[in-house]
Copies of this chain bind each other. A is one copy, B any other.
Amino acid sequence: MKATLNILEAAGAQIEPEVIEIGEQVYLKGISSGIEPRAWDSLRETKVFLKSPITTPQGGGFKSLNVTTRKTLGLYANVRPCKAYSPYIRTHFPKTDMVIIRENEEDLYAGIEHRQTDDVYQCLKLISRPGSEKIIRYAFEYAKKYNRKKVTCMTKDNIMKLADGLFHSVFNEVAKEYPDIEADHKIIDIGTALIADKPEMFDVIVTLNLYGDIISDVAAQITGSVGLGGSSNVGEEVAMFEAIHGSAPDISGQNIANPSGLLNGAIMMLVHIGQPEVAEKISNAWMKTLEDGIHTGDIYQEGISSQLVGTQEFAQAVIDRIGLKPEKMTPAEFQKGDGSDDNMGAIKLTKRKPSKKELIGLDVFIDWKESNNDANVIGDRLRAVDAGGVNMQLITNRGVKVYPDGMKETFCSDHWRVRFFNADQSVITHAQILDVMKQVQDLGFDFIKTENLYTFDGERGFSLAQGE
């Protein structure tokens, strides 16, 4: 942090840092979030947070400070520029220059998990329309501001037609408002493969939390920039800037770490707070330092590097080059905004009319492991349920229809999903749901969870079973 702040000061950044202690010392005080309550007030006032790499202690119920700040302050956008600095940093892909914009709050990372049978553990993947719209609009606004030509969306909507399908369809809607920016979609499996093999294809990528986690590591790794990249976590009001790499307690304080990751985070911060000229100066001095072969141990290469330096010497070399530009690499050029659109995080969502929502059925999940998990036995018993016309229609196990007319090869766990409808799939009441559940219980079954089945404006709000 000291090396980075020295460079910022030398370049003339107009900042007044307020230091908040986070991480180990705070955890040891017994504050499980790793951040003191009064520190939140400082963040709310400064609205900007340059964060050193810290370690969340293993075990003991300590929460990841990253997750806590992201979710508590609504830092919904993780922005990760990923650029090659060849030949100074070794890579097979010297032309890479992409920005990954990852949704930061939702998806499987909401951490809602339940174990309700001996066999089966569940995690909820939640995707919201406002969450999707916010990150997608942010990606297009980012592309516009930084003069990028293309935004690629990545999902797995050929499998998750509702959840990932929502993200993709919101992407298509928003893309129409940006006719000058090319919009593109890739399925995440082949998309990740193309990032690994042809990264120069990509410009801005916007994607869900888990996919973004994976592809931003791939992109950093293949460009050799794991130790160099910065990232931002942007919310409607507050933004946090950091190095993409984690903490390295084993080399801390030995003057051998490369300060480039945090420095690049700080450069993003300067652009965010409306000091793009200072950001440019620092970025250019940093690239010139790389070009001059003044390298820390992690990036030192025989034949390319000219001088092996420590943390402080590297920082001094950058300071000495403030005012110079790289000669071989393209100099940095950050948009000089008019000041009005500096807070890109404050996205205005489309106002939408609520849908007409109708309850037409429910899925009751049951823990059952009798009769060798024979679907016909549980199915035949549940035929007895009748809640004013609401009856069992089918049973699935791990998503596959197993009753009626299942296949004998289908493996059945102790986790059964039983679907109830009116025969004509007409509207039912919440009272009928409670009646179904009570009857299921009276038959001696352990109901473990339920999912109501709704239509929205007449459209089915749930997937069919495999084999249905």
- Cβ-neighbour of A113 out of B222, B236, B463 (below 8 A): B463
Q: A-side binding surface: helix, strand, loop or mixed?
A: mixed
Q: How large is the interface on A (under 10, 10 to 19, 20 to 34, 35 or more residues)?
A: 35 or more
Q: Is A42 an interface residue (CB 8 A)?
A: no
Interface of chain A residues 122 through 143 with chain B (CB within 8 A): 122-131
Question: Distance (Å) between the CB of A122 and the closest chain B CB?
Answer: 6
| Cβ contacts under 8 Å, A119 to chain B | 128-130
Q: Is A357 an interface residue (CB 8 A)?
A: yes
A217-B235 Cα distance, complex, nearest whole Å: 33
Binds B, one of A176-184, A386-394, A454-462: A454-462
| Cβ contacts under 8 Å, A110 to chain B | 398-400, 466
Q: Is A6 an interface residue (CB 8 A)?
A: no
| Cβ contacts under 8 Å, A369 to chain B | 354
Binds B, one of A12-20, A72-80, A144-152, A295-303: A72-80
| Cβ contacts under 8 Å, A466 to chain B | 63, 67-68, 71, 110-111
| Cβ contacts under 8 Å, A109 to chain B | 159, 399
Q: A110-B399, A188-B214 are in contact. Are A462 and B115 (CB under 8 A)?
A: yes
- Cβ-neighbour of A125 out of B124, B129, B189, B449 (below 8 A): B124
| Cβ contacts under 8 Å, A193 to chain B | 214, 217-218, 220-222
- Cβ-neighbour of A40 out of B126, B194, B367, B407 (below 8 A): B407
Q: Are A111 and B463 in contact (CB under 8 A)?
A: yes
Q: Are B197 and A213 in contact (CB under 8 A)?
A: no
| Cβ contacts under 8 Å, A165 to chain B | 121
Q: Are A125 and B106 in contact (CB under 8 A)?
A: no
